[in-house]
Amino acid sequence: MEKIIDIGEKEISNIAISAYLAGLIDGDGTIQESKVVIYNQDKQLVEQVQQLIERLTGFECSLRPYSYPNHAKPLFHLTICGKVRIQSLLSSILPFLIGKKLIAESVFQIISQKKTYNLRTLQKNEYYK
């Protein structure tokens, strides 16, 4: 059964949230191996998107304002970092992406194949193989 997320008085399904986020990222976002970023001047919109991402994936994301010399209003950057967080978000939105689908598939494949090492617990001989 589809999980339903309660936003205020409205219930929104994960599928609807995933499609909405895919549209935002297609239009106002960037997908990279190390992060996914959504840019927008509307602080309230970005804060609501932050809540949707956190409820959908279970992970927090960073929201920061940036002022640019040629912009009258600050631009808000909503950033999702970390392999597991990016995988979780991309696995939800991939079916709905259009313009950035190929880059998202490539990033998902790359980070899925990467190994994560904890250098404190990694044996010295394994590190130098």
Split at pLDDT 50, 70, 90, the class of 122 is very low
Ranges of each domain in the chain: 4-127
Identify which of 109, 62, 116, 64 has the alpha carbon closest to the alpha carbon of residue 90.
109
**Span 91-112, pLDDT tens digits:** 999 999 999 999 999 999 998 8
pLDDT value at 31 more than 50: yes
Q: Which class would CATH give 4-127?
A: alpha beta
For residues 112-126, give the mean pLDDT: 55
* Residue 39, burial from CB neighbour count under 10 angstroms (0-12, 13-18, 19+): middle
